[in-house]
Amino acid sequence: MILPPRFACDVMLGSMAKWLRMLGIDTFYDNQAADADLKRLCLEEKRILLTKDRALHDSMPVGTSRLVGAVHLRAQLEEIVRVFRLDRFDLPPRCSACNGELETISKEQAKDRVPPYVFLTQERFQRCAQCRKLYWPGTHLKRIAERIVKIRKACE
């Protein structure tokens, strides 16, 4: 079995980090991270650095970073999905806010943490194991799923 790659995004690629996480790809992002920290993290955790910074890219060992060429988010995502063949993997989404893993919780557990309308109309809830952010399919998970399908199609 081929394991999906793990990434770290530089400070300019925060939106991409969110989307990669929603695709289920383990992606580090910290908008305060200094270049030296990113480099060390990538080497220690065997993460591929995604960067818009040519000097930073050139300072990484060969094969440990990717200079992202595309300008717009959608094209950037398509580039990374294509280059790393991310369409091979069908992973459960991770928390877009913190990269944590999502766990399914009961409707009762979600009760006091979501708007009443959401509680009444939704049956499936997930919670980030790390930051406790709640997700439910009726909101953005559905839109995300649709967009991911489009991205995957565009890469075929």
Contact positions with Zn ion (CB under 5 A) in 67-96: 95
Q: What is the 3-state secondary structure (H, E, C) of 1-51?
A: CCCCCCEEECHHHHHHHHHHHHCCCCEECCCCCCHHHHHHHHHHHCCEEEE
Instruction: Select 41 or 134, whichever has its Cβ closest to Zn ion.
Output: 134
Other CB atoms within 10 A of residue 96 CB: 23
Distance CA 113, CA 55 (A): 45
Asked if residue 98 binds Zn ion (CB under 5 A), the reply is: yes
The DSSP call for residue 94 is B
Minimum CB–partner distance for residue 95 and Zn ion (Å) = 3
113 binds Zn ion (CB under 5 A): no
Told to check if 118 binds Zn ion by CB under 5 A, we report no
Select from 50, 128, 144, 148 the one that contacts Zn ion (CB under 5 A). Answer: 128
In the complex with Zn ion, which residue's Cβ is closer, 16 or 60?
16
DSSP annotation of 107 reads: H
Q: Within 10 A of 9 (CB to CB), how many other CB atoms are there?
A: 29
Is residue 100 a contact point for Zn ion (CB under 5 A)? yes
Judged by CB under 5 A, the residue of 131, 138, 139, 146 near Zn ion is 131
Considering the complex, what minimum distance in angstroms separates the CB of residue 71 from Zn ion?
28
Residues that bind Zn ion (CB under 5 A): 95, 97-98, 100, 128, 130-131, 133
